[in-house]
Structure 1
Amino acid sequence: MATIELLRHGREMGARLAADLGEATRVCIAVSRAEASALAVVDLVGFVERGGELLLLAGLGGYGTETAMLRRFERMPGARCRLYHAWGGTAFLPRLYVLDSGARRVVYVGSSDLAASGLARDLAVNVRIEGSASEPELERPMRLFEELFWSELSWPLSEAFEAEYEALRVVRRAAMERAPDPSAEARLDFSVAQKLGEQRAKAAARRHLLVVTAKNYTLCMQTKSFGRRRQAELERYAKGDPFFFHVTGRGRGLRAMGMFVGETYRDDAATFRGMDGGAQPFRKKFVVLGELGKEIRTRPILESLRPGAPKHWFNGFVQDSHTLSVEDFEALRGAFVTALSAEQAKAKG
């Protein structure tokens, strides 16, 4: 009997697909967009070099497919690539993966294209089906793939078409860089982030100050994740909880505002073992709601809320990460938004 799983993120899809690829002998893929960036997530080149059979069908809508990658596979024995020419105002959006290993078959269908974005970064939802290739749930996807791959609208690559298509990709890319106005998009993003931060500050059960070194801050922002040595330590941070990064050190302070998303996961990458404080394999993803080019001092923002506080109260306040009161968070958020607005105005002027 076929087993069916719901995969809730692109990185989950990418990890499962990469694992299944190691056991497969034939892979059939039909996607709206195929990019070379996907090869960093799923090693299709290595799969074909080991003797695997690859059939790849990619769409052309939005000029997202990189024909150079398809051309690379076309030069390899065991791989065959075609392009689907959607017609009559329709779009080609199948996102179907079929992997065979003897009598066993795995099918993925959902919203992940063959690109690093859909297989690692995006909030993409996919369904994974596994079982015997003769079961209806696994036989029908293969029939559908064959219909698409051998359709009258599916053509092999040709040098003449490829040259014209790639020329139009360059024109489209240049047009996208000009319009819409990047500064207008930045203003919209800032407005959305400001509203989201304001809303979560009121609605979330908890708000946090994450106290980090400059080195750890850089790594957190690169990976968009915050880590702890033990999984239980991350359970205090719930999905939707807003936070501020306070960077320690002389002249440092408040640097970025974010919001936690997703569940705790384990990542044993060597990168995290080099962080200050040792290995922090348990991590939680976040989105950035704003980042300052230069820190603003945290202490002056909060001092007015603490008349009569002990002289060295701030040393204890930033000794470690902790939850914030609504009043403290709102004071920090107000100062942060003001500083971020000033930086943006200066950059425009």
Structure 2
Amino acid sequence: MPTIELLRHGREMGARLAADLGEATRACIAVSRAEASALGVIALVGFVERGGELMLLAGLDGYGTETAMLRRFERMPGARCRIYHAWSGTAFLPRLYVLDIGPRRVVYVGSSDLAASGLSRDLAVNVRIEGSASEPELERPMRLFEELFWSELSWPLSYVFEAEYEALRAARRAAIERAPDPSAEARLGFAVAEKLGEQRGKASARRHLLVVTAKSYALCMQTKSFGRRRQAELDRYGKGDPFFFHVTGRGRGLRAMGMFTGETYRDEAPSIRGMDGGAPPFRKKFVVLGELGKEIRTRPILESLRPGAPKHWFNGFVQDSHTLSIEDFEALRGAFVSALAAEQGTSKANAG
């Protein structure tokens, strides 16, 4: 009886696919987009180098596929690559992965393309099916892959077509960079983030000030996750809770506003384990609602709310991460939004 699992995020897909690939002898992949960025998430090159058989079929919709990646595998024994030419206004969107592991077979069907975004960052939903390769539920995906791979619309990559495709791909990239107006998109994003921060500040049970060093802040923003040494320490941060990052150090202060979005997980990535002293392994994902180019001082924003407070009250306030009252959060949010709007106005004036 096959086992079926629902994978709720791209990083789950990437982690499970990487583990399965380590045991597989054959991988058949049909995706709408194939990018070299995927090779940083799954060891597909190593899989072929150790004798694994790879059959890779990629679409051309949106000019997302990188032909250089296909060429790289074509030069390797054991790998075959083809491109699928969708026709008559249709799109090629299979996102199908079939891996053979001895008598077993693992199939992934879903929304993750062969790219780092779909295998690590995106909110991509996928279904994983595992069982005997002879079971109907696992035979049919392989038959479908073979139909697509050997279809009359599936061709090997020719050098003439590749040159024309890459020229159009470069032209499309240039057009996207010109329009729509990036500043208009930034203003829309700013308006959405401002409204979301305001709404979550009122609706959430808790609001937080995350006190971090500059080094920890950089890692948090790189991974879009906040970490602690023990899993229980992250239980105070609920999904949908808004927060501010306060960066410690002379001249530092409030730097970014965000919102927690995920459940606690353990991250064993080299970027986490390889940090000096090791970064906290238990982490929780967040989205960034806004980031300042330069910190603003936190103390003056809150001082007016504390008449008669002891002289050194702020030292204790930023000793460690903690929850914020609605009043403190709103004061920080108002100052943060004003500072961010001023930065964006300055950037627009300089660009003009």
TM-score range, shorter chain: over 0.9
Percent identity between the aligned chains?
89
Amino acid at match of 2:140: R
Instruction: Identify which range, 211-220 or 193-202, moves more after superposition.
Output: 211-220
The residue number in structure 1 matching 2:263 is 263
Distance 1:63 1:271 in 2: 31
- Measured against aligned partners, the alpha-carbon deviations of 1:302-347 in whole angstroms (never above 9, x if no partner) come to 1111122222211111111100011110010001000110111111
List gaps (5 residues or longer) in structure 1. none
CA shift for structure 1 position 161: 0.7
Instruction: Name the residue aligned to 2:98.
Output: 98
Do the aligned partners of residues 182 and 40 (structure 1) sit closer, same or farther apart at CA in structure 2, a change above 3 Å counting?
same
Q: Indicate the residue corresponding to 1:39 in structure 2.
A: 39
Aligned to 2:329: 329
TM alignment of 1:182-331, pairs within 5 A: 182-269=182-269, 271-272=271-272, 279-331=279-331
> Counterpart of 1:43 in structure 2: which amino acid?
A
* Superposed counterparts of 1:3-82, under 5 Å: 3-82=3-82
Take 1:24 and 1:180, find their aligned partners in 2: how far apart are those partners?
44
5+ residue gaps, structure 2: none
CA drift at 1:273: 5.7
Deviates more, 1:215-224 or 1:82-91: 215-224
Q: For residues 277 and 35 of structure 1, do their structure 2 counterparts lie closer, same or farther at Cα, with a shift above 3 Å needed?
A: closer
Structure 2 equivalent of residue 346 of structure 1:
346
In structure 2, C-alpha distance between the alignment counterparts of 1:227 and 1:153, rounded to whole Å: 48
Cα gap change, 1:38 to 1:223, in 2 (>3 Å) = same
| Letter of the structure 1 residue corresponding to residue 282 of structure 2 | F
The amino acid across from 2:56 in the alignment is L
Per the alignment, residue 109 of structure 2 pairs with: 109
Q: Displacement of 1:197 after TM fit?
A: 0.7
Letter in 2 for 1:266: R
Q: 1:102 Cα shift?
A: 2.4
| TM-score between the two structures when normalised by the length of structure 1 | 0.97
In 2, Cα distance between equivalents of 1:274 and 1:151:
46
Q: Cα gap change, 1:269/1:104 in structure 2, threshold over 3 Å: closer, same or farther?
A: closer
Aligned residue for 1:138, secondary structure, equals: helix
Structure-2 separation of matches of 1:304 and 1:41: 49
The C-alpha deviation readout for 1:228-279, integer Å capped at 9, x for no partner, is 1111001100111000011112221111101111111112445446768864
Give the structure 2 partner of residue 157 of structure 1: 157
- Alignment partner of 1:55: what SS? strand
Matched residue SS, 1:148 = helix
User: Match for 1:171: what amino acid?
Assistant: A
Q: Which letter does structure 2 place at the counterpart of 1:29?
A: I
AA of the residue aligned to 1:243: F
Distance 2:96 2:262 in 1: 25
Counterpart amino acid of 2:236?
R
CA deviations on 1:34-80 (whole Å, 9 max, x unpaired) are 01111111111111111111111100000000111111111222111
Secondary structure of the structure 2 residue equivalent to 1:220: helix
- Distance change >3 Å, CA 19–CA 278, structure 1 → 2: closer
Q: How many pairs were matched up?
A: 349
Partner secondary structure for residue 173 of structure 1: helix
Please say if residues 108 and 127 of structure 1, whose CA atoms lie closer than 8 Å, have aligned partners that are also in contact: yes
Q: Tell me the equivalent position of 1:168.
A: 168
Cα 1:271–1:165 change in 2 (3 A) is closer
Q: Secondary structure at the match of 1:134?
A: coil
- What TM-score results when the alignment is normalised by the length of structure 2? 0.96
Counterpart residue type for residue 252 of structure 2:
R
Deviation at 1:188, TM superposition (A): 1.1
Matched residue, 1:181: 181
